[in-house]
Structure 1
Amino acid sequence: MAASASSRGFTAPIGASKLPTVEVFPSSPNGFVEFRRKKRSSIGGFFSIQCCCSDSVMPIRGGSGSGNGVDKGDDGRLDSKKITANYMRTQASSPMPFASPQSRFVSKPEKFFSRCTPRNSGPKSRDSPPKRDTGIANEKDWGISMLNDSVNETGVNEDGSTWYRESGEDLGDNGYRCRWTRMGGQSSDGTLEWKETWWEKSDWTGYKELGVEKSGKNVEGDAWWETWREVLHQDEWSNLARIERSAQKQAKSGTENAGWYENWWEKYDAKGWTEKGAHKYGRLNEQSWWEKWGEHYDGRGSVLKWTDKWAETELGTKWGDKWEEKFFAGIGSRQGETWHVSPVGDRWSRTWGEEHFGNGKVHKYGKSTTGESWDIVVDEGTYYEAEPHYGWADVVGDSSQLLSIQPRDRPPGVFPSMDFGPSLPPEDELPPTLSQ
């Protein structure tokens, strides 16, 4: 199978995963259902995949802190040779859990790996199933190992299962290069499959990318897919060096109407600007849940955080919770809403807000559909996080393999073409309004 390259993309293989097990706790006095998440285990197994190059670059979670420094120019511009390896306020409730007996979408790693993993000379799948709510893994957790030589191998194991391993290099305009390694296998009857692809890309603009894609399926029909990407490039507006990380994961049960999907992103630049976020969705038979959250730090002390969670059942019951906070130099606000809708359309909600004036005074207000309300000013300290817990220095220190990618030599007198056309952030990355 030949890998196809575009100017800046590539697709690869996958891992495995398990659906969440959740509990619904008794209703609170106001009638709003409270949720808490039980620990989840993950599914083991294999799946299949393809390798191709895609154009999208997705980002992922992040934060800031002290760590190894970054060697860069005073203006923070990208110089790949000099760059060296140097939440959101999560509330008690989880993203809308469901009341349901233990899912049959269970872990059977011993069954999958003993029958499907190639032996001896064949490649062995080192992937583990993707797990919910784990964010973006670091390079070291992926163990990406690119083969230096072109390889095209296949084989058959003692149990009749087959495997393949191949690698190659794709070249393109502007010094583009994509080095890739792909491997996979399947059982003799084809009911079990696994595939994974690793790649690294670069061009003369200083763009570098590292990525993995994995997939798998088992005899019960359970299927999973996972991809992770890490990108270094120069921001088209500020000309600052920027690192973006992203991960997408999904799993689907073959025995019941159940599955989940997650998209995580983190973006960092050399001046401390940071953005993190996630979109999640899950379904367990008649119940579904959604969650979105984001964090935005401008690198100068201004911060915006928000989250929006909701769930529903096929009977018509709906419930959710959302909040938002904005702060700068000790002055800011918080506001939110908790709500519940019954199958017959009866709606309960409670809205609340806080105004922090930076002088020790806080205005608190709120009301609910049951008639309660408050509007007071209190003496209270203001606490918020003006910087992410994981930021530019941290992500650079964790991106040594990305930074070590060697681009093709640029001929003398040849300059890279750079497209700095206008671009707007994707609509689904903007924070939602708080009006329900």
Structure 2
Amino acid sequence: MTTGMAAARGFTTPFSVRLLRRADVALLSGKNGVVLEVRRKKRRLLAAGDLVKCCCSEIRGVCGSGKNAQKGEERLFEHNKRPTYRGRVPVMPFASPHSRFVSKQEKFFSRCTPRSSGPQSRDSPPKRDTGIANEKDWGISLLNENVNESGTNEDGSTWYRESGEDLGENGYRCRWTRMGGQSSDGTSEWKETWWEKSDWTGYKELGVEKSGRNAEGDSWWETWREVLHQDEWSNLARIERSAQKQAKSGTENAGWYENWWEKYDAKGWTEKGAHKYGRLNEQSWWEKWGEHYDGRGSVLKWTDKWAETELGTKWGDKWEEKFFAGIGSRQGETWHVSPSGERWSRTWGEEHFGNGYVMQDKHLCKVHKYGKSTTGESWDIVVDEETYYEAEPHYGWADVVGDSTQLLSIEPRERPPGVFPNLDFGSSPPPPREPSGSS
């Protein structure tokens, strides 16, 4: 997902958010007009999981000024997907944590990383299906002073490190650090940019962008962003996180792309999703999935996976479920198309009526199940069984607040007395944007 840095519209004053939870609460931050209280509870981390460019954005592209501050650049490469189609979809050889691609990168970085005063890069090819990393996993550490330095290592490889601060209207500030290195013959390089942003509306952003390539032509790019802002229509605090990752082989027609996003607000509204794409020579595959919780018990989940070969064989699987208060439905389809165009499919559905009763410590209800396939099979029955669905995300608002301490601790510029954020109210809500990983 790409979300632009904005002087967020529709803010009348810097916002104050208070979370009221049923369990014990703990004051997390009381600075800069933001008060967040979250319940103390055991957290479970979300298991979530980008286009290859050898060059990162120039720092001006990462940190703009004022209202024209950086808007997440949409990169339309191939979106990674690796659905579980009974082993028919291959594993990308160059992107495996134990593959020759990774080991060559590790050798490269140990060779080109300066031993003393130069930056010690943590950059490496991103791993597939790893979702959005937490702050502590990225280890963003910005320098407090302006730096512009470079050097050469004993083996002839070079490095550089820069840092600075950009200021703009509406109290906009972007602190950034950029570093990188290159082998002596120029065939291998890495770049890394970190930043934090804020303005007088209460907007805060933390981010990273990395890229690299090696002598064999393998290349990668990834970025991660975390944003705190006030929703201009609900006036609720919202935290949004996103990650894009990609890698491309230099020796095969192979590559993969992932786009992940998560959105949370202070009343439990949650949206999560991912778009993925991958290719290995003659085979390609895609995957999309999404989850939406309205914070009042209603939930929507869906998945769509498909793959194809250059010979014309295609296959896929998709399903969707909608529930509220035990009442809801599930439906799905599995399908296959042969090179000659012959199609097979099986569709199925469930209707859960929520009219439950207890029997032997189980809460049973009537469920209508139906389905058919192109081979003539069909069924249409009503059974008594338990209805199970997740009405709340296992990783929600309290969890993401607790894992966003560095984002919340960003210090904005001091606002002079009598100066207020610029207002820019829209006449209607902005149209929804499809994440850049869609296909």
TM tier relative to shorter chain: 0.7 to 0.9
8 Å CA contact retained: 1:85, 1:398: no
Q: Paired residue for 1:283?
A: 279
For the residue of structure 1 that corresponds to 2:136, the secondary structure is helix
Q: Once the two structures are superposed, what CA deviation does each residue of 1:20-56 show, in whole Å capped at 9, x if it has no partner?
A: xxxxxxxxxxxxxxxxxxxxxxxxxxxxxxxxxxxxx
* Distance in 2 of aligned mates of 1:233 and 1:185: 35
8 Å CA contact retained: 2:198, 2:204: yes
8 Å CA contact retained: 2:83, 2:287: no
* 2:328 pairs with 1:332: yes
* 2:132 pairs with 1:125: no
Q: Paired residue for 2:42?
A: none
Please report how far the alpha carbon of residue 105 of structure 1 lies from its aligned counterpart in structure 2 after TM superposition. 6.2
* Distance in 2 of aligned mates of 1:311 and 1:188: 41
Q: Paired residue for 2:361?
A: none
Q: Paired residue for 2:75?
A: none
User: Which moves more between the two structures, 115-124 or 313-322?
Assistant: 115-124
Q: Paired residue for 2:89?
A: 98
Q: Paired residue for 2:430?
A: 423
Please report how far the alpha carbon of residue 100 of structure 1 lies from its aligned counterpart in structure 2 after TM superposition. 7.4
Q: Once the two structures are superposed, what CA deviation does each residue of 1:162-211 show, in whole Å capped at 9, x if it has no partner?
A: 00001000000000000000000100110010010000000000000000
CA separation of 1:295 and 1:88: change in aligned 2, threshold 3 A:
farther
* Distance in 1 of aligned mates of 2:304 and 2:92: 26
* 2:179 pairs with 1:201: no
User: Which moves more between the two structures, 299-308 or 99-108?
Assistant: 99-108
* Distance in 2 of aligned mates of 1:118 and 1:406: 32
* 2:238 pairs with 1:242: yes
The partner residue of 1:406 within 387, 402, 411 is 411
* Distance in 2 of aligned mates of 1:316 and 1:240: 49
The count of corresponding residues between Structure 1 and Structure 2 is 367
Q: State the TM-score, normalized to the length of structure 1.
A: 0.79
Q: Paired residue for 1:262?
A: 258
Q: Which amino acid aligns with 1:317?
A: T
For the residue of structure 2 that corresponds to 1:238, the secondary structure is coil
8 Å CA contact retained: 2:259, 2:437: no
8 Å CA contact retained: 1:88, 1:294: no
8 Å CA contact retained: 2:48, 2:129: no
Q: Paired residue for 1:304?
A: 300
User: Which moves more between the two structures, 212-221 or 418-427?
Assistant: 418-427
* 2:72 pairs with 1:81: no
Q: Paired residue for 2:267?
A: 271
Q: What CA RMSD, in Å, does the superposition of the two structures yield over aligned residues?
A: 2.9
8 Å CA contact retained: 1:348, 1:370: yes
Superposed, 1:37-436 pairs within 5 Å as: 69=25, 80-83=33-36, 94=84, 98-99=89-90, 102=93, 106-107=101-102, 108-359=104-355, 360-421=365-426, 422-428=429-435
* Distance in 1 of aligned mates of 2:22 and 2:124: 31
For the residue of structure 1 that corresponds to 2:101, the secondary structure is coil
For the residue of structure 2 that corresponds to 1:106, the secondary structure is helix
User: Which moves more between the two structures, 348-357 or 104-113?
Assistant: 104-113
* Distance in 2 of aligned mates of 1:207 and 1:146: 18
Please report how far the alpha carbon of residue 401 of structure 1 lies from its aligned counterpart in structure 2 after TM superposition. 0.1
* Distance in 2 of aligned mates of 1:341 and 1:178: 51
Please report how far the alpha carbon of residue 329 of structure 1 lies from its aligned counterpart in structure 2 after TM superposition. 0.4
8 Å CA contact retained: 1:274, 1:391: yes
Please report how far the alpha carbon of residue 109 of structure 1 lies from its aligned counterpart in structure 2 after TM superposition. 3.6
Ranges in structure 2 where 5+ consecutive residues have no aligned partner: 8-20, 40-45, 50-81, 356-364
* Distance in 1 of aligned mates of 2:47 and 2:122: 31
For the residue of structure 2 that corresponds to 1:112, the secondary structure is helix
Please report how far the alpha carbon of residue 111 of structure 1 lies from its aligned counterpart in structure 2 after TM superposition. 2.2
User: Which moves more between the two structures, 404-413 or 421-430?
Assistant: 421-430
8 Å CA contact retained: 1:85, 1:403: no
Q: Once the two structures are superposed, what CA deviation does each residue of 1:41-97 show, in whole Å capped at 9, x if it has no partner?
A: xxxxxxxxxxxxxxxxxxxxxxxx99984759xxxxx9743136878999x962785
Please report how far the alpha carbon of residue 431 of structure 1 lies from its aligned counterpart in structure 2 after TM superposition. 11
CA separation of 1:431 and 1:111: change in aligned 2, threshold 3 A:
closer
* Distance in 2 of aligned mates of 1:225 and 1:67: 41
CA separation of 1:110 and 1:170: change in aligned 2, threshold 3 A:
closer
Q: Once the two structures are superposed, what CA deviation does each residue of 1:248-282 show, in whole Å capped at 9, x if it has no partner?
A: 00000000100000000000000000000000000
Q: Once the two structures are superposed, what CA deviation does each residue of 1:125-176 show, in whole Å capped at 9, x if it has no partner?
A: 0133211111100000000001000000010000000000010000000000
For the residue of structure 2 that corresponds to 1:396, the secondary structure is helix
Please report how far the alpha carbon of residue 418 of structure 1 lies from its aligned counterpart in structure 2 after TM superposition. 3.4
CA separation of 1:174 and 1:145: change in aligned 2, threshold 3 A:
same
Please report how far the alpha carbon of residue 241 of structure 1 lies from its aligned counterpart in structure 2 after TM superposition. 0.2
CA separation of 1:390 and 1:7: change in aligned 2, threshold 3 A:
closer
Please report how far the alpha carbon of residue 427 of structure 1 lies from its aligned counterpart in structure 2 after TM superposition. 3.5
